[in-house]
């Protein structure tokens, strides 16, 4: 009887334990499902300002983070005047190959996606703009060719030019007689005025048209944006199928693109943007450091500090500090110039200008080398950067030139003062000094007390003991002296 009751108790406890285990397991699964919903996220990256190596590094690392964390979407909130072609293309490659959809959102109100920003907008899986924004002006700006590149047409003599001008005038007259048909003929698209310009322009056109065709956007307007630098407002862009969405905010953007199908690197994907947690990704220390040193103004200052640091170290060996600081700054500047679109002719002029200003301190050119160095330095600084969106501040160039000029003038003034100063060492110092005869000269020779020292001396005139003498010459360690007396002055007058 006791055994049966114990068995029933154990069976009942077993059933309760199973039910408790099932309840716990259900709660764990529900919690896991809830946690999974909370982990669904969209990463928000801000592109603000000119696009350069730091921007590219920041975006590429953000896309990698989104892939590693399994994010549903990456949002590039953008406001840019454009930037470097190399940085832009690196970003676009990563966007096109990203397994996570990328939505580029031109925001907040008043922002723009000019030049490189237009290309990035076309490359993104979702292109969106906020009200009161614009895009366009996608023409490459550094397409004027290399300095010294010959023109497309060879030079012609005056007679050839006159003949061609006459033929051109006759052709224009014939076209004018053709009537309104010629006037209604559509204008030819911009092709460029030199082989280099055409090469870069056609490459940019093909590139942006390829991006437009990939995502089914307006390729014709994209070509106009490159060839003619045209712009669109947010409403015009939506009407012309340049963008997909006009959104008031990031939340509005997520709501509007939910359920859209986008073309990925492999296949297509339906966006699920409901209840996404938006996580803003801030640039890390590496991106911040890269952003600082690749700023053209900072790179310029680093170069100048590096050059002057090395100069001071060479002028004063053993100080160590100027040399160390100069070497570090120069290496950082060279790294920045490696990734920035610098004009090497400008860099050469800057270095030449500094060398000329230093040479002025050692070569008496009456300021020619110094002022020539200042001119070379200023011109080189102005043409150092080829890009309009990444250029050195003119006030910074002027301030640096003024400081260099002030330093150069100070060195010149110190040199002039030193040259005018009386020599205080060597044979030149001794000439004209006065001393006292220690005893009477015998055979025109004797010893004098001069400069707190005893010297051997000779004189063409008799010298008595304790008589004052003046040094008029020096031969080795033998002084040529003459007594300072009225007799000496009379003798000198007669000789004269």
What is the rounded average pLDDT for all residues in the chain?
Answer: 79
Q: How do the domains of the chain map onto residue ranges?
A: 40-142+195-284, 287-420, 427-495
Q: What is the pLDDT of residue 307?
A: 84
More reliable by pLDDT, 176 or 73 = 73
CATH 2.40.50.140 fits 427-495, yes or no: yes
Q: How many residues does the chain have?
A: 496
Kindly list the strands in the beta sheet with 231-233, ordered across the sheet, starting from the edge strand earlier in the chain: 112-114, 134-136, 231-233
More reliable by pLDDT, 93 or 492 = 93
Residues 2-30 have a mean pLDDT of 65
- Taking every pair of Cα atoms in the chain, the longest distance, rounded to a whole number of angstroms, is 161
Q: What is the pLDDT of residue 181?
A: 43
Judging by beta carbons within 10 Å of its beta carbon (0-12, 13-18, 19+), is residue 49 exposed, middle or buried? middle
Q: What is the pLDDT of residue 476?
A: 80
Query: Rounded to 5 degrees, what are φ and ψ at 380?
Result: -60, -40
Q: What is the pLDDT of residue 20?
A: 67
Residue 251's contacts (CB-CB under 8 Å, 6 or more residues apart) are 278
Residues 467-477 have a mean pLDDT of 86
The packing angle between helices 219-227 and 195-214, to 10°, is 150
Q: Taking 70 as the threshold, does the pLDDT of residue 308 lie above it?
A: yes
Q: Taking 50 as the threshold, does the pLDDT of residue 494 lie above it?
A: no
Nearest Cα to 230, choosing from 143, 110, 118?
118
**Can you say whether the dihedral through the CA atoms of 85, 88, 94, 97 is positive or negative?**
negative
In angstroms, the CA 307 to CA 407 distance is: 14
Q: What is the pLDDT of residue 37?
A: 46
Q: What single DSSP character describes residue 422?
A: P
**CATH number at 40-142+195-284:** 3.90.226.10
Name the band, by pLDDT with cuts 50, 70 and 90, for residue 270. Answer: very high
CA quadruple 284, 288, 49, 227: dihedral, nearest 10: -90
Nearest Cα to 225, choosing from 104, 354, 112?
112
What percentage of residues in the chain have a pLDDT greater than 90?
A: 31
pLDDT digits 0-9 by tens, 364-423: 666 788 788 888 888 888 888 755 556 788 888 888 888 877 776 776 677 667 666 665
Report field, pTM of the whole predicted structure over 0.85: no
In angstroms, the CA 81 to CA 390 distance is: 10
Q: What is the pLDDT of residue 366?
A: 67
**Can you say whether the dihedral through the CA atoms of 213, 242, 129, 39 is positive or negative?**
negative
More reliable by pLDDT, 233 or 1 = 233
């Amino acid at each position: 009887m006791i055994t049966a009751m114990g068995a029933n108790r154990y069976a009942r406890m077993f059933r309760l334990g199973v039910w408790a285990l099932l309840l716990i397991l259900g709660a764990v699964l529900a919690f896991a499902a809830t946690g999974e919903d909370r982990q669904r996220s969209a990463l928000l990256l801000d592109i603000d300002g000119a696009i350069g190596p730091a921007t590219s590094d920041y975006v590429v690392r953000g896309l990698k983070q989104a892939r590693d964390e399994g994010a549903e979407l990456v949002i590039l909130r953008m406001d840019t005047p454009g930037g470097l072609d190399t940085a832009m293309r690196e970003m676009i490659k990563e966007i096109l190959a990203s397994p996570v959809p990328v939505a580029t959102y031109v925001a907040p109100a008043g922002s723009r996606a000019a030049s490189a920003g237009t290309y990035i907008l076309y490359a993104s899986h979702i292109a969106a703009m906020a009200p009161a924004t614009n895009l366009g002006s996608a023409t490459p700006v550094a397409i004027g060719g290399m300095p010294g590149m010959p023109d497309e047409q060879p030079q012609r003599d005056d007679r050839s030019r006159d003949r061609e001008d006459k033929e051109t005038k006759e052709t224009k007259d014939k076209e004018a007689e053709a009537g309104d048909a010629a006037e209604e003929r559509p204008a030819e698209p911009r092709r460029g005025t030199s082989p280099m310009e055409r090469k870069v322009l056609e490459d940019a056109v093909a590139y942006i048209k390829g991006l437009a065709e990939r995502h089914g956007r307006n390729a014709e307007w994209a070509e106009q944006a490159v060839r003619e630098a045209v712009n669109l407002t947010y409403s015009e862009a939506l009407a012309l199928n340049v963008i997909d969405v006009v959104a008031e905010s990031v939340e509005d953007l997520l709501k509007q693109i939910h359920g859209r199908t986008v073309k990925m690197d492999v296949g297509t994907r339906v966006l699920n943007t409901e209840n996404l947690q938006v996580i803003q990704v801030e640039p890390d220390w590496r991106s911040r450091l890269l952003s600082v040193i690749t700023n053209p103004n900072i790179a310029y200052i680093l170069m100048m500090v590096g050059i002057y640091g090395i100069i001071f170290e060479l002028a004063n060996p053993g100080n160590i500090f100027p040399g160390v600081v100069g070497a570090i700054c120069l290496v950082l500047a060279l790294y920045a110039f490696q990734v920035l679109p610098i004009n090497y002719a400008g860099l050469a002029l800057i270095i030449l200008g500094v060398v000329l200003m230093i040479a002025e301190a050692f070569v008496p050119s009456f300021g020619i080398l110094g002022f020539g160095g200042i001119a070379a330095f200023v011109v080189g600084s102005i043409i150092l950067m080829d890009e309009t969106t990444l250029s050195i501040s003119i006030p910074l160039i002027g301030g640096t030139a003024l400081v260099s000029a002030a330093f150069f003038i100070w060195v010149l003034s110190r040199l002039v003062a030193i040259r005018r100063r009386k020599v205080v060492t060597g044979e030149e110092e001794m000439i004209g000094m006065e001393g006292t005869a220690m005893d009477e000269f015998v055979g025109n020779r004797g010893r004098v007390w001069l400069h707190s020292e005893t010297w051997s001396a000779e004189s063409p005139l008799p010298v008595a003991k304790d008589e004052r003498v003046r040094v008029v010459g020096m031969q080795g360690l033998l002084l040529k002296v003459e007594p300072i007396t009225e007799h000496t002055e009379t003798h000198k007058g007669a000789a004269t």
